[in-house]
Structure 1
Amino acid sequence: MDLDTMDPSENAGKGPPLLEGEDEEGLNVVGLISIIVFYIAVLLVGIWAGWRQRKIVKNEGRTQDQEEVMLAGRNIGLFVGILTMGATWVGGGFINGSAEVAYSSGLVWVQAPFGFGLSLFISGTFFARKMRESRYVTMIDPFTQKYGKWGALQAFPSAICEIFWSAAILGALGSTLQVILKIDTVTSIIISAAIAVLYTLMGGLVSVAYTDVFQIIFIAFGLALSLPFAATSEFVSSKHLEEGADYRGALPSHLVGEWIDYAFLLLLGGIPWQCYFQRVLSSKTSTRAQMLSYGGGLIALVMAVPATLFGVVAKATDWERTAFGHAPSGDENKLVLPLCLQYLCPPWVTFFGLGAVSAAVMSSTDSSMLSASSMLARNVYKTIFRPKASEKEILIVLWCCIVINAFIATTMAIKYQSVYSLFVLCGDLVYVVVFPQLLLVLYFEASNTYGSVVSFFLSFVLRILCGDTLLDIKPVISFGTIYGENEGEEGPVPFRTIVMLISLVVHMGLSYGAHWLHIHGGIVQSSSRHLMGEESIGMDEYARENQKRPPTYNPAYDNKTFYE
Structure 2
Amino acid sequence: MALNVPGLIAVIIFYALTLATGLWAAWKAKKTEKNQSQTEVAIVGGRNMNIFVGLFTTTATWVGGAYINGTAEIVYLPSRGLAWVHAPLGYAASFVIGGFFFVKPMRSKNYVTMMDPLQEKFGGTMGSILFIPPLLGDVFWFASILASLGATVRVILDVDGHLSIIISACTVILYTLLGGLYSVAYTDVIQLLFMIVSLWICVPFALVNSASENIAYTAVNELYQVPWTGTIEPRYIARWLDDLVYLGLGGIAWQTYFQRILAASTSKQATVSSCLSGLLCAVMAVPSVVIGAVAASTDWNQTTYGLPTPNERGESNMILPLVLQYLCPTYISVAGLGAIAAAVMSSADSSLLSASSMFAYNIYKKLLRKKASETEVLWVMRLSMVILGSVGMGLAFLSKSVYDLWFLSGELVFSLLFPQLCCALFISGTNVYGSAAGFVLGFILRLLGGENTLKIPPGLHYPGCTLVDGVYVQLFPFKTFTMLVSLITIVAVSYLARVLFKKGGLPLKWDVCNVFREEACHQLHHELENLQQNREHTSD
Answer whether TM exceeds 0.5 for this pair. yes
Give the aligned partner of residue 98 of structure 1: 71
1:127 maps onto 2:102 in alignment = yes
Q: Secondary structure at the match of 1:460?
A: helix
| 1:137 counterpart = 2:120 | no
Q: Is the 8 A contact 1:240 1:317 kept in 2?
A: no
Cα-to-partner distance string for 1:360-412 (whole Å, 9 max, x where unaligned) = 00000000000010011111112221111111111010000100110010000
Residue in structure 2 matching 1:465, options 448, 468, 484: 448
**2:83 alignment counterpart:** 108
Other structure's SS at 2:453 match: coil
Is 1:87 paired with 2:60? yes
Where structure 2 has 5 or more consecutive residues not aligned to the other structure, the ranges are 527-540
Distance 1:441 1:215 in 2: 35
Alpha-carbon contact 1:514-1:524 (below 8 Å) kept: no
What's the RMSD between the two structures over aligned residues?
2.1
Aligned with 1:542: secondary structure?
helix
SS in structure 2 at match of 1:481: coil
Match of 1:39 among 15, 22, 34: 15
User: Which of structure 1's runs of 4+ aligned residues deviate more than 4 A?
Assistant: 488-491, 543-549
Contact conserved, 1:70 with 1:205, CA < 8 A, in 2?
yes
**Which of 281, 296, 299 is the matching residue for 2:262?**
281
- Alpha-carbon contact 2:75-2:293 (below 8 Å) kept: yes
What is the DSSP-based 3-state SS (H/G/I as helix, E as strand, rest coil) of the residue aligned with 1:136? coil
What amino acid sits opposite 1:386 in the alignment?
R
Please identify, of 327-336 and 283-292, the stretch whose mean Cα deviation from structure 2 is larger. 327-336
Distance in 1, Cα, partners of 2:445 & 2:9: 49
Give the drift of 1:523. 2.2
Q: Secondary structure at the match of 1:492?
A: coil
Q: Which residue of 2 aligns with 1:392?
A: 375
- Determine whether 1:414 maps to 2:433: no
Corresponding position of 1:424: 407
1:260-290 Cα distance to aligned partner (Å, 9 max, x none) = 2111111111110000000111111111111
**Which residue does the alignment assign to 2:518?**
541
**Larger displacement relative to structure 2 (367-376 or 377-386):** 377-386
Give the whole-Å Cα distance in 2 for the aligned partners of 1:33 and 1:527.
67
1:52 offset after TM fit, Å?
Answer: 2.3
Deviations 1:198-237 (A, max 9, x none): 1111211001100000001001101111111111112211
Contact 2:110–2:262 under 8 Å retained in 1: yes
Conservation of the 8 A alpha-carbon contact between 1:82 and 1:296: yes
Deviations 1:36-86 (A, max 9, x none): 11111100111111112313444xxx2552101111111111110011111
8 Å CA contact 1:255, 1:482 repeated in 2: no
Q: Which residue of 1 aligns with 2:332?
A: 349
**Within 2, Cα distance between the matches of 1:464 and 1:482?**
15
- Mapped to 2, the partners of 1:429 and 1:482 lie a distance apart of 20
Distance in 2, Cα, partners of 1:79 & 1:394: 29
Partner of 1:509: 492
Partner of 2:317: 334
What TM-score, normalized by structure 1, do the two folds share?
A: 0.87
| Aligned partner letter, 2:55 | I
Q: Which amino acid aligns with 1:344?
A: L
Q: Distance in 2 between matches of 1:423 and 1:198?
A: 24
Matched, 1:309 2:290: yes
Counterpart among 177, 180, 184 of residue 160 in structure 2: 184
User: Quick one: which amino acid aligns to residue 273 of structure 1?
Assistant: W
Q: Matches of 1:48 and 1:503 in 2, distance apart?
A: 45
| Displacement after TM superposition at 1:164 (Å) | 0.6
CA distance in 2, matches of 1:208, 1:177: 23
Q: Which moved more, 1:540-549 or 1:168-177?
A: 540-549
Question: How much identity, in percent, do the aligned residues show?
Answer: 43
Alignment of 1:369-388 (within 5 A): 369-388=352-371
Cα 1:492–1:547 shift into 2, 3 Å: farther
| Count of aligned pairs between the two proteins | 513
1:547 positional shift: 11
Q: How does 1:316-327 map to 2 (within 5 A)?
A: 316-326=297-307, 327=309
